[in-house]
């Protein structure tokens, strides 16, 4: 079977790092063409450095490019230290990046990959969607080379950065709007599903006991990341937002979703950055998004634990 050509656009970020590991673990399914980075969980300098360190830990040799430092229109949100620490990836020790930095910007690398491929590519944005907004605005001719977006962002019932909005969308609502309005199929792993994709302390110990370097690293990332979920959000486990966007591609049968029309609110007083989901079809508009709302949690944890055991 032909592999799925994949690009991951991320802001590591603890759960971004685990999403990268999950994608790398499925080398039989994915052909990872590139990793691009964006400012979000921390500055783009830090997320770029973090992505390169994570890839060095995994032993994944694909081009990694530095993307947008600022949202398309607004100022960066900031305040993410409470979730990801000063480095954006506080907690575990990570190796230094390997190889030379990519001479291309994320925009240039995205264009290069998309120009070269014959088979349309799946893109997983797991951070603010600035790189995607710029790509789609500047090179709409490349839309035909994008099969689908499997994103982590948004939420039907809740926000996590304001009462209404999820961080990745709120961080650059104008870019998210360009992506959602693009006409390209979108699978949305929003908070409705990602809050169900959590790992308990006991399950994290099982992951650690895999014993391989990457499983231990993922468990250490979860040790740090879970503090926010337990102490601030009072959730029953560590919420693995970003891995959902990759896990859906690996095992769509463990997720439940509904095609809906979704708009991004770019000027609401109270709802800026909200993904407005037309669940009952009031607008009659095209169903542009598969909104994931549930996951078989034991199957998700099993998938993660078994896949990460395949890494070094």
- Which residues are known to be catalytic? 241
**160 touches which of Ca ion, ligand BDR, none (CB within 5 to 8 A by kind)?**
ligand BDR
* Helices 213-227, 297-308: crossing angle, 10 deg rounding: 140
Rounded to a whole number of angstroms, the minimum distance from the CB of residue 209 to ligand BDR is 25
Q: Which helix (H) or strand (E) holds 306?
A: helix 297-308
Cis before 13 (ω within 30) = yes
Rounded to a whole number of angstroms, the minimum distance from the CB of residue 16 to Ca ion is 4
Nearer to ligand BDR, 236 or 281 (CB): 236
Rounded to a whole number of angstroms, the minimum distance from the CB of residue 131 to ligand BDR is 14
* Helices 130-138, 106-116: crossing angle, 10 deg rounding: 60
Tokens of 104: 């291309």
Nearer to ligand BDR, 76 or 111 (CB): 76
**166 touches which of Ca ion, ligand BDR, none (CB within 5 to 8 A by kind)?**
ligand BDR
Nearer to ligand BDR, 142 or 171 (CB): 171
Nearer to Ca ion, 166 or 203 (CB): 166
Positions in the binding site for ligand BDR (CB under 6 A): 13, 15-16, 41, 83, 126-127, 152, 160, 166-168, 241-242
Positions in the binding site for Ca ion (CB under 5 A): 11, 13, 16, 126-127, 242
Rounded to a whole number of angstroms, the minimum distance from the CB of residue 252 to Ca ion is 21
Sheet holding 4-10, edge to edge: 64-66, 30-37, 4-10, 121-125, 146-152, 186-189, 289-295, 255-264, 275-278
Contacts of 118 (CB under 8 A, 6+ apart): none
* Cα–Cα distance measured from residue 40 to residue 172, given in angstroms and rounded to the nearest whole number: 9
* Cα–Cα distance measured from residue 265 to residue 176, given in angstroms and rounded to the nearest whole number: 10
Nearer to Ca ion, 74 or 302 (CB): 74
**131 touches which of ligand BDR, Ca ion, none (CB within 5 to 8 A by kind)?**
none
Contacts of 291 (CB under 8 A, 6+ apart): 156, 188, 190, 192, 257, 258, 259, 260, 262, 277, 279
Rounded to a whole number of angstroms, the minimum distance from the CB of residue 51 to ligand BDR is 12
Tokens of 5: 């050509």
């Amino acid at each position: 079977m032909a592999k799925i050509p994949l690009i991951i656009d991320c802001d590591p970020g603890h759960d971004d790092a685990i999403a990268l590991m999950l994608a790398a673990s499925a080398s039989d399914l994915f052909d990872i063409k590139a990793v691009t980075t964006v400012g979000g969980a921390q500055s783009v300098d830090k997320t770029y450095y973090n992505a390169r360190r994570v890839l060095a830990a995994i032993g994944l040799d694909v081009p990694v490019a530095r993307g947008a430092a600022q949202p398309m229109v607004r100022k960066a949100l900031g305040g993410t230290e409470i979730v990801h620490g000063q480095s954006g990836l506080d907690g575990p020790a990570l190796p230094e990046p390997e190889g030379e930095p990519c001479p291309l910007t994320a925009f240039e690398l995205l264009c290069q990959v998309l120009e070269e491929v014959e088979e349309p590519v799946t893109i997983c944005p797991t951070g603010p969607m600035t790189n995607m907004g710029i790509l789609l605005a500047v090179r709409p001719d490349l839309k035909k080379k994008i099969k689908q977006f499997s994103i982590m962002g948004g939420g039907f019932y809740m926000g996590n950065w304001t009462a209404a909005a999820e961080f990745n969308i709120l961080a650059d609502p104008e870019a998210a709007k360009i992506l959602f309005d693009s006409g390209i199929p979108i699978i949305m792993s929003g908070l409705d599903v990602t809050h169900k994709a959590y790992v308990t302390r006991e399950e994290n110990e099982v992951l650690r006991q895999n014993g391989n370097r990457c499983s231990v690293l993922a468990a250490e990332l979860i040790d740090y990341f879970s503090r926010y979920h337990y102490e601030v959000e009072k959730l029953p486990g560590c919420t693995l937002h970003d891995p959902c966007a990759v896990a859906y591609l690996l095992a769509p049968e463990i997720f439940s979703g509904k095609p809906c029309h979704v708009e991004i609110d770019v000027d609401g007083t109270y709802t800026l950055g909200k993904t407005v989901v037309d669940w009952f079809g009031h607008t009659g508009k095209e169903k542009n998004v598969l909104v994931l709302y549930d996951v078989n949690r034991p199957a998700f944890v099993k998938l993660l634990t078994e896949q990460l055991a395949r890494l070094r």
